[in-house]
Amino acid sequence: MSLKDKLSELRQRGLADIKQSTDLKDVNQVRVQLLGKKGPITEVLRGMRDLDAAERPKVGAFANEIRDDLTAALTQRKAELEQAVLNAQLAKETLDVTLPGTPVAKGEPHVIQQIVDQIEDLFLGMGYQVLSGPEVEEDKYNFEMMNLPKNHPARDMQDTFYITKDILMRTQTSPMQARTLEKHDFSKGPLKMISPGVVYRRDTDDPTHSHQFHQVEGLVIDKHITMADLKGTLQVLAHELFGDKFDVRLRPSYFPFTEPSVEADITCFNCGGKGCKVCKNTGWIEVLGAGMVHPNVLKMAGVDPDVYGGFAFGVGPDRFAMLKYGVDDIRNFYLNDVRFLTQFTKKG
């Protein structure tokens, strides 16, 4: 057999061995066998010295070619087997991705807080300040400066927790408006404020009444504020809180601290305005009170009602939350059942 034939046969046998190797150890063994110092190729090359000088480079080149082929085949086989090992390992590592994720500790803001924050952000964007006053108020700020002198019949409308004759739990957040009006320097610009906070009424707690609830009152005083501005502002508020589909309508009402006074209804959540049980078939739901600030309120705060005027409104975040989410019992907001608190998780 010529050397060349021998090499050809070597290649054939080597490739077959490589192909048959089943793990990395095998591959290594085959490599040592074929290409090692004691391997057949080395041996063949060693036998080259017996060849003609003319033959030698040809056979040498052929031998190198065979060695390269075998090396390439070994490398490829090794890669294949490594891949197989990896695949097997990955297969073994496969998870049931439908198993639940590991719990993380995560708290939620209170649903009423979310609504208050939303209202605050809206009005901050429109250049309002956010001011919160004391919860224990003087009768003077809570009532008298709101144009509700002692013995005013409308005081019966809101039963009050008194601490002494003159000190009470605020029944509304508007006393902060009186406090701010008293101090505001109109030469520095208009007064635009909202006052969010907790208020208290002498009510027995039941599904629709709570002795403690929240209010956000707004006040804008400047030289040229109109009732149309009030309407537009309330529209923006409704759209922001509930969505563009919600419309606002105004109805006459009575509050001692505003004149004209209005109540604002928005499109019924339940039926979208078609009329249903929730809205007593009117398609509308009453959500807030508002009006143009009564001249007496301005006068009492030392603001000239012939020069300045504006509007005020008051909204109840508890009521908003009840309407928006269909909460059927106001007490849920203050009993803090974790299963209730963690229902309102949508952010942004």
Binding residues vs Zn ion (CB under 5 A) = 268, 270-271, 276, 278-279
Q: In terms of Cα–Cα distance, which of 123, 120, 291, 287 is closest to 191?
A: 123
Measured distance CA(297)–CA(144) in Å, rounded: 9
Q: Which of 90, 100, 346, 348 binds other proteins (CB under 8 A)?
A: 100
In the region spanning residues 7 to 26, those forming contacts with other proteins, defined by CB under 8 A, are none
Of the two residues 242 and 333, which places its CB atom closer to other proteins in the complex? Answer: 333
Distance (Å, whole) CA 117 – CA 269? 21
| Residue span 281-310 as binding mask against other proteins, x where in contact by CB under 8 A, dash where not | -x---------x-xx-------------xx
**Closest to 240 measured CA to CA, from 216, 263, 220:** 216
Report how far residue 176's alpha carbon sits from residue 191's, in angstroms, rounded to the nearest whole number.
Answer: 13
Residue 141 is a binding residue for other proteins (CB under 8 A) = no
Q: Which stretch binds other proteins (CB under 8 A): 42-50, 52-60, 133-141, 170-178?
A: 133-141
Query: Which entry of other proteins, Zn ion, none binds 270, CB below 5 to 8 A by partner kind?
Result: Zn ion
d(CA 265, CA 249): 5
- Give the dihedral sign, CA 322/325/327/333: negative
Q: Whose structure tokens read 């809101």?
A: 158
Contact between residue 238 and residue 228 where contact means Cβ atoms under 8 Å apart: no
Question: Which region, left, alpha or beta, applies to residue 96 given φ > 0 means left and ψ of -120 to 50 means alpha?
Answer: beta
Report the candidate in 77, 80, 64 with the shortest Cα–Cα distance to residue 31.
77
For other proteins, which is the closer residue by CB, 134 or 326?
134
Residue 130 binding partner per list Zn ion, other proteins, none, with a CB distance cut-off of 5 to 8 Å that depends on partner kind: other proteins
Residues 348 and 333: their CA atoms lie apart, in Å, by 21
Question: Which one of 163, 206, 245, 272 is in contact with other proteins (CB under 8 A)?
Answer: 163
CA distance 204 to 331: 11
Minimum CB separation of residue 259 from other proteins in Å reads 4
Which is nearer to other proteins, 213 or 269 (by Cβ)?
Answer: 213
**Which residue has 């106001």 as its token pair?**
330
Q: Does 325 bind other proteins (CB under 8 A)?
A: no
> In a 10 Å sphere around its CB, with 0-12 CB exposed, 13-18 middle and 19+ buried, how is residue 309 labelled?
buried
Amino acid at 40: P
**Can residue 348 be called a binding residue for other proteins (CB under 8 A)?**
no
Indicate which of Zn ion, other proteins, none lies near residue 19 (CB less than 5 to 8 Å, by partner kind): none
Binding mask 210-249 vs other proteins (x if CB under 8 A, - otherwise)? Answer: -xx-------x-xxxxxxxx-xxx-xx------------x
Q: State the binding partner of 233 from other proteins, Zn ion, none, CB within 5 to 8 A by kind.
A: other proteins
State the minimum distance, in angstroms, from the CB of residue 75 to other proteins.
Answer: 38
Partner touching 257 among Zn ion, other proteins, none, CB below 5 to 8 Å by kind: none
Query: Containing H/E element for 173?
Result: none
| Closest to other proteins by CB, 20 or 342 | 342
Cβ closer to other proteins: 8 or 343? 343
Task: Tell me the window of 46-54, 58-66, 76-84, 134-142 that interacts with other proteins (CB under 8 A).
Answer: 134-142
